[in-house]
Amino acid sequence: MRIVTYNVNGLRSAMTKGFTDWLKTDPADIICLQEVKAHRENVDYQQFEQLGYQDFWYPAQKKGYSGVAILTKIKPDNVYYGNGHAQSDAEGRVLRADFGDISLINAYIPSGTSGEERQTYKYQWLDEFYNYVNTLKKERPQLVVLGDYNIAHKPIDIHNPVSNKDSSGFLPEEREWLTKFLGSGFVDTFREFHQEPDQYSWWSFRANARNNNKGWRIDYINVTTPLKDRLKDAQIWQQVKHSDHCPVYLQLNK
């Protein structure tokens, strides 16, 4: 099972930059998108169907904002929309699909960069999500929880940890939450294979950050410990450029 998470920062925009051509290279069996910023009827989704993907959407109620989607060549047994929290669901932030004994959760964690009110909501969302996932884990112990977490976990995950110590996405409380989340029985799959620095999945549009690789690793594919023995490969595909993020990849053995 080959899985990708990718914040496309507007799917229609990404499609004008070669996203569909990239899909034609068969990058993965399951591609989880965040920040699609569109409803299904506003996108030429037939392009995905022609390549063998089923598509499942959970857009935000607000047009042009947030939203998640799953493109998959493996037919899911069940698809669940939202996590039962009204504001999160209105913003289209959680989409779950079950494939046999594996449940995959595609999540777009809120950003707190727009101000104190959204930062406060981010902490609320993180607490709600932690409880949602850990409740589900009792029933479905083999979880893949992926998406744009909007948190760089450790200094190795950000180009300048000192100057960003007070930046949303690298605040102590956010990093502590991610430590707690992983400690509740999850594996950071990328770090199982790669310990080297300068491995980022998002770059600011400012100051030529991407060309200078001044980025943050804020996109993750985390799995519960029962899946650890099935990990085969993990990558960050920095060369793929349809967004200010890039795809993150995981391969699981059967």
**CATH code assigned at 211:** 3.60.10.10
Instruction: Kindly tell me if the per-residue pLDDT of 254 is higher than 90.
Output: no
Tokens, residue 117? 């009110």
How high does pLDDT run on average in the chain?
98
How many other CB atoms are found less than 10 A from the CB of residue 53? 20
Catalytic annotation, pick one of 29, 148, 157, 188: 148
173 has a pLDDT exceeding 90: yes
Instruction: State both tokens at 147.
Output: 């998406």
Number of other residues whose CB lies within 10 A of the CB of residue 143:
22
148 catalytically annotated: yes
The greatest distance separating any two alpha carbons of the chain, rounded to the nearest whole angstrom, comes to 47
Residue range of the domain that includes 125: 2-252
pTM above 0.95, yes or no: yes
**Predicted confidence (pLDDT) at residue 239 exceeds the cutoff of 90:** yes
Instruction: Name residue 69's beta-bridge partners.
Output: 33, 57
Number of domains in the chain: 1
